[in-house]
Amino acid sequence: MNPRENLFKQLLKVGLVDPSQNDQTLLDPCRPDPIRYLSSKGIFAENKALELISKRLALDIISFDPSVTERIEESSLFKAVDPKILWSNKVLPLWEENSSIVVAFANPCNLEVKQTLEFSFSRTVKQYLAKEDEILSFLSTYYPIDTDSYDELTDITEDSYVEVVDSAESDEAIDTKNATTPPIVRLINMILSDAIKARASDIHIEPAQSSMDVRFRVDGKMQHFLDIPKRLQSYAISRVKLLSGMDISERRKPQDGRFRVRIGDDLIDFRTSSVPSVHGEAVVLRVLNTSGKVLSFKELGLNEELSRKINDSLEKDSRMLLVTGPTGSGKTTTLYSCLLTLNDKTRNIISVENPIEYRLKGITQIQVNEAKNVTFASSLRSILRQDPDVIMIGEIRDEETANIAVESAMTGHKVLSTVHTNDAPSAITRLNHLGLSYYNISCAISGILAQRLVRKVCKSCSTKLSDKQLQQYASDITQFKIKVDNLRTGKGCEKCSGTGYYGRTGIYSFLEIDDKVVKLLEAEAPLSKIIEYARSAGYKDLASAAIEVVNSGLTTLDEVHPYLDATGQTTTEVNEKPPTIGLISTKNLKLNNATPGSNIEGIQKTKILIVEDDPDVRFMLKTLFEREFYDVKVAENGLVALESVYNRTPAIILCDLKMPVMDGREFMKKLRSKPQTQELPVVILTASDDEKSEIDALDLGAKDFISKASSSELMLARVRRALGDID
């Protein structure tokens, strides 16, 4: 029996896996051995597997702590073995002990290599069990092999060949198929080719202390693909940087680049980003299949009712359709589907994108290039002279782009674009904070679609839930009215790489801007009033949409749980006053002695937003205020904090000054520039407890100033005073 199969059999006997997980990927020599491979898939914990296997096979586990490391010998005796044998079988000779050789094995079931070593050393071999990555790390130090040998080990075949073209704008080939291509080139080609085969959206090449980890993002989740020896790190990174047009001599600054490859008949663009890290440069490649098929509304997962509403919105002249959601939620793909609907050869359609993810016939597509001053705003000003009927803007993220987009919609053009908000109603607040009046928003927008992507249950291994699983989900089934007969789960198979999921579908929430909503916007009604009316007219939030997808059997309860947890947390407008009970404002009620998590009917927790880049400080402050019955949200910089304010107005903000992306000063200026947030109380957090820092904070419009070194009692007292809870 193959050593990999034999080890899988042992894992089966100790109850860590089931037979369905024994697929062909376990036999692939390019992959780690079963313990490391299956633990990287989340099937079990690596330490737990080593513990159970060691007990079953009566072997000791060796951990490479300093005392062990000091004993590892470079004995001339060990030169008798070919390093390729050690690398290919992941075994490490350690030291001589009496008449035996102590050897660490990643796969203790590899009896063939044990016999080979005993023959080479003319000694018996005493087996120890060790982590695979630790063995590979020491092999790179004591048993280095040349790159040609590593190429043989990774089994890179002709199927891994990709043809590189000279840039993302040209189809002219610069590499030709050559059996003598250097091993590093073939290694990177293998990674690119396998990423495409695996349907990966991103490739992560991440240096670690002892190796370099290659991971793919498939269906939105990271999956381990390959470990590259540490000694090959600089060569692999340099190859990717050369392809991407980066400066390979610059290793201390972030860089961006791009390149294109041809695999079969498909042209694949890669957008590359490199950043320095503690163990070397980390590289991420975004995979863009520009020749991919644009999906119809039905293929995206839109039901007939939603498809009709979006089509009605697209048919309205001089209006804008917005799609909202976080990065990676499929917004651009939805916009392409809308363009496919509109592209009937009777319209002049122009898009401004960054990047261009699909190439569409009959549409003029402009790639943003900020280095050459080709921005969303500058491109929009130019294309308005091109007599467009339809304009697609990849993203609205600044005031100038927002104004031009709305003006374009109000002057006879159909406009499609995206914004980053958590739900559809919040897009209205977001545009208002970008400087648009509610009147202009009501005149320009025809509809707002919020969306998320969730993984679909793999059809090949889909099964109904067992009675035990149904019992685990009993409370959710009751609370969300789930159809039990339609609940599915994936057992994991070769097709889905053991994950139980294959492909993704969308969950959608559409806010139609009809005549009633227009009147509410023109009257600058609170967003809660708009949501209340929209729900009466059939509006469904993302939580309701998520439940519908589960009830259809397409996905699992676990996959949509992040959206179900948000049920009941309705979006509130930033200019709404805190809710009141009678004549008493809830923010002034003394709730700080209540038990955290308790449900007091009619009383809401005071909302507090903590803006701090230090994760330890964030955690301590969050713990402190949650213990005092505050409803706490956190943000790591000013930009994230602004999004949080747009989506859910806090009663008070605690804000650090020195932060990346957007610091506290810029954040304060943004807050104070809008009438709706001018009076929002902000308490500045600082590590400098001096008079100058306090004056600076107060000059910014802060309500108070607190040193991070303050005691918990003082911190709470100052926040209560800023809220008006105490004099």
Domain 158-289, CATH class in plain words: alpha beta
Domains 3-144 and 297-454+505-544 share a fold: no
Q: How far is CA 440 from CA 310, 433, 518, 532, 573, in A?
A: 21, 13, 10, 22, 18
Per the CB < 8 A criterion, the answer to whether 390 and 414 are in contact is yes
Which amino acid is present at 265? D
Relative to beta strand 91-97, strand 100-105 is: antiparallel
426-433 vs 527-536: helix crossing angle, rounded to 10: 150
Contacts for 50 with CB less than 8 Å, ≥ 6 apart:
35, 61, 129, 131
Q: To which residue do tokens 């007219």 refer?
A: 537
Per the CB < 8 A criterion, the answer to whether 224 and 40 are in contact is yes
Q: How many CB atoms lie within 10 A of CB 145?
A: 19
* Selection from 567, 601, 603, 573 nearest residue 588 by Cα: 603
Q: Number of helices (H) and strands (E) in the chain: give both, helices first.
A: 28, 26
Task: Read off φ and ψ for residue 189, nearest 5 degrees.
Answer: -60, -40
Which fold, 297-454+505-544? Rossmann fold (3.40.50)
Per the CB < 8 A criterion, the answer to whether 281 and 237 are in contact is yes
DSSP string, 346-375: SS-EEEEESS--S--TT-EEEE-BGGGTB-
Q: How many CB atoms lie within 10 A of CB 365?
A: 17
Per-residue confidence (pLDDT) for residue 28, from 0 to 100: 54
Per the CB < 8 A criterion, the answer to whether 693 and 700 are in contact is no
User: Cis bond leading into 355, ω under 30°?
Assistant: yes
Three-state secondary structure call for residue 65:
coil
Per-residue confidence (pLDDT) for residue 161, from 0 to 100: 54
Per the CB < 8 A criterion, the answer to whether 341 and 275 are in contact is no
* Selection from 110, 85, 89, 91 nearest residue 7 by Cα: 110
Tokens of 390: 């339809």
Per-residue confidence (pLDDT) for residue 30, from 0 to 100: 53
* Selection from 448, 450, 648, 473 nearest residue 559 by Cα: 473
Q: What is the spatial distance between Cα 482 and Cα 92, in angstroms, rounded to a whole number?
A: 53
Per-residue confidence (pLDDT) for residue 173, from 0 to 100: 42
Q: What is the spatial distance between Cα 440 and Cα 220, in angstroms, rounded to a whole number?
A: 36
Per the CB < 8 A criterion, the answer to whether 489 and 457 are in contact is yes
46-57 vs 3-13: helix crossing angle, rounded to 10: 90
Per-residue confidence (pLDDT) for residue 149, from 0 to 100: 44
* Selection from 700, 705, 694 nearest residue 673 by Cα: 700
Tokens of 78: 């060990």
Q: What is the spatial distance between Cα 689 and Cα 701, in angstroms, rounded to a whole number?
A: 18
Torsion of CA 52, 54, 55, 58, to 10 degrees: 160
Cα–chain center distance at 452: 12
Tokens of 316: 């309205």
Where in the chain are the domains? 3-144, 158-289, 297-454+505-544, 580-723
Contacts for 637 with CB less than 8 Å, ≥ 6 apart:
611, 613, 659, 660, 661, 662, 663
Phi-psi region of 295 (alpha: psi -120 to 50; beta: other; left: phi over 0): beta
Tokens of 589: 């009620």
Per-residue confidence (pLDDT) for residue 701, from 0 to 100: 78
Angle at 570 between CA 567 and CA 574, to 5 degrees: 155
HSE on the CB side for 185, CA within 13 Å?
15
Q: What is the spatial distance between Cα 694 and Cα 707, in angstroms, rounded to a whole number?
A: 9
| DSSP 8-state class, residue 554 | S
Q: What is the mean pLDDT of each run of 10 residues along the chain (727 residues)?
A: 74 75 56 72 78 82 72 60 75 82 83 79 83 76 55 47 57 40 76 88 89 89 84 86 86 87 80 89 87 78 90 87 89 90 89 83 86 83 88 90 91 91 89 89 93 91 85 82 86 81 92 92 88 91 90 89 58 36 31 40 73 80 82 86 82 86 82 79 76 68 78 82 64
Q: How many CB atoms lie within 10 A of CB 369?
A: 11
Contacts for 254 with CB less than 8 Å, ≥ 6 apart:
273, 274, 275, 276
Task: Read off φ and ψ for residue 387, nearest 5 degrees.
Answer: 55, 55
Domain 3-144, second-level architecture: 2-Layer Sandwich (3.30)
| DSSP 8-state class, residue 232 | G
Task: Read off φ and ψ for residue 53, nearest 5 degrees.
Answer: -65, -40
Tokens of 652: 């008070």
* Selection from 305, 68, 260, 39 nearest residue 165 by Cα: 260
Maximum Cα interatomic distance, the chain, rounded to a whole number of Å: 91
Q: What is the spatial distance between Cα 92 and Cα 338, in angstroms, rounded to a whole number?
A: 57
Tokens of 83: 């390093």
Angle at 545 between CA 298 and CA 493, to 5 degrees: 70
Tokens of 341: 């609907």
Per-residue confidence (pLDDT) for residue 406, from 0 to 100: 92
> Could you tell me how many residues make up the chain?
727
Contacts of 534-539 with CB under 8 Å at 24 or more apart are 534/425, 537/512, 539/509, 539/510, 539/511, 539/512
Q: Say which CATH superfamily domain 580-723 falls into.
A: Response regulator (3.40.50.2300)
Three-state secondary structure call for residue 562:
helix
Three-state secondary structure call for residue 706:
strand
Tokens of 581: 């009970």
Relative to beta strand 280-289, strand 266-277 is: antiparallel
Q: What is the spatial distance between Cα 559 and Cα 390, in angstroms, rounded to a whole number?
A: 36
